[in-house]
Amino acid sequence: MEYTQPQLPYDNDALEPAISARTVDFHYGRHEKAYIDNLNRLIKDTIYADMPLEEIIRQADGPLFNNASQAWNHIFYFFTFSPDGGGEPAGDLRRAIDRDFGSFDDFKRKMVEAGTALFGSGWVWLSKDDNGKLFITQGRNAENPLRDGLIPLLTFDVWEHAYYLDFQNRRADALNALWSIIDWDVVESRY
Ligand code: MN
């Protein structure tokens, strides 16, 4: 199997000002593309060549894990956004957020706090377990909650490459800007 990078369902400048066209160009067009190219090179003629990507993430270590997980994480991240996003979640996901975090505002605050408190590069995740209970977790570097038996619903990339062109050192501002472009229909469909 050879992975190809899916085309984003919006123009590169469509997420401004939360994420600039320049950041989409570099982050999706170059960083994400490199992870996919590396993944293809690392699985070629190995037992991983025809393994589902999520299974590679669960099983692999080292460079293969890093590139497989980063390839998956970035597609998951960028396909959560929409120029028509923002607002608030509804339905079962909203009820679970209110139940497990107190309120939507409390959830947003805890998600951003987890992202700003992560030292170095990584991801902050909203995930659910098999019972629908929600968790906010931090993952260093390429870490993915799939490794812990959780089902990812939403992620914020807190690597500096995700926000430095637009927000420099202001990571909290970069994360708070994302609330305006989240497509909650996508997140609800994952729940
Ligand atoms: Mn990234």
Token pair for 49: 């060549």
24 CA distance to ligand 1 centroid (A)? Answer: 10
79 CA distance to ligand 1 centroid (A)? Answer: 13
What does the pLDDT look like over 137-180, one tens digit per residue? 999 999 999 999 999 999 999 999 999 999 999 999 999 999 99
Domain ranges of the chain: 21-78, 91-190
Fold of 21-78: Helix Hairpins (1.10.287)
51 CA distance to ligand 1 centroid (A)? Answer: 24
Give me the residue label for tokens 């202001």.
170
What does the pLDDT look like over 102-118, one tens digit per residue? 999 999 999 999 999 99
108/12 Cα distance (integer angstroms): 25
99 CA distance to ligand 1 centroid (A)? Answer: 31
Summary mean pLDDT of the chain: 97
79/82 Cα distance (integer angstroms): 8
189 CA distance to ligand 1 centroid (A)? Answer: 23
169 CA distance to ligand 1 centroid (A)? Answer: 15
CB within 5 A of ion ligand 1: which residues? 157, 159, 162
73/91 Cα distance (integer angstroms): 25
Fold of 91-190: minor pseudopilin epsh fold (3.55.40)
- 0.95 surpassed by pTM: yes
186 CA distance to ligand 1 centroid (A)? Answer: 20
